[in-house]
Amino acid sequence: MYEGGVGIPATKSDRFDVRMIVAAVQRAAGTPDGMLALHEPVFAGNEITYLEQCIKSTFVSSVGKFVDRFESMLEQVTGARRAIAVVNGTAALHACFRLAGVQPGDEVISPALTFIATTNAIAYCGASPHFVDSSLRTLGMDAQALGERLDAIAQRSATGATNRETGRRIAAIAPMHTFGHPVDMDAITAIAAHWNIPVVEDAAESLGSTYRGHAVGSQARLAALSFNGNKIVTTGGGGAILTNDEELGQRAKHITTTAKLPHKWAFVHDEIGFNYRLPNLNAALGCAQLEQLDGFLTSKRRLAVAYDRAFAGVPGVAFVREPEGTTSNYWLNTILLDEAHADRRDAALTALNDSGFGARPAWTLMHRLPMFTACPRGDLRVAESIERRLINLPSSASIQAHDD
Ligand SMILES: *Cc1c(COP(=O)(O)O)cnc(C)c1O
This prediction has a pTM of: 0.96
| Residue 312, domain member (yes or no) | yes
Q: Assess whether the C-beta atom of 351 lies below 6 angstroms from ligand 1.
A: no
- Which of residues 274, 290, 306 is at a domain's end? 290
Residues 220 and 353 in one domain: no
Quickly state the pLDDT bin for 13 (edges 50, 70, 90). Answer: confident
| Selection from 224, 132, 207 nearest residue 170 by Cα | 132
Backbone angles phi, psi at 178, to 5 degrees: -70, 125
List, edge to edge, every strand of the sheet that includes 160-163: 128-132, 107-111, 169-173, 160-163, 154-157
Give the C-alpha separation, 391 to 317, whole Å.
Answer: 10
% of the chain exceeding 90 in pLDDT = 92
> What is the structure's pLDDT at 218?
87
Residues 376 and 388 in one domain: yes
% of the chain exceeding 70 in pLDDT = 97
Residues 275 and 297 in one domain: no
Residues 285 and 297 in one domain: no
CATH number at residue 270: 3.40.640.10
Residues 171 and 116 in one domain: yes
Q: Assess whether the C-beta atom of 89 lies below 6 angstroms from ligand 1.
A: yes
Whether residue 4 has pLDDT greater than 60 = no
Rounded to the nearest angstrom, the distance between the alpha carbon of 151 and the centre of ligand 1 is 30
| Residue 328, domain member (yes or no) | yes
| Selection from 306, 114, 105 nearest residue 203 by Cα | 114
Residues 286 and 301 in one domain: no
Residues 102 and 247 in one domain: yes
Q: Assess whether the C-beta atom of 117 lies below 6 angstroms from ligand 1.
A: yes
Tell me the residue range of the domain where 336 lies. 3-40+293-393
> What is the structure's pLDDT at 220?
85
Q: Assess whether the C-beta atom of 366 lies below 6 angstroms from ligand 1.
A: no
- Which of residues 226, 261, 290 is at a domain's end? 290
Tens digit of pLDDT for each residue in 111-134?
Answer: 999 999 999 999 999 999 999 999
Domain count, the chain: 2
Furthest-apart CA pair in the chain: how many Å? 75
Tens digit of pLDDT for each residue in 149-197?
Answer: 999 999 998 888 999 999 999 999 999 999 999 999 999 999 999 999 9
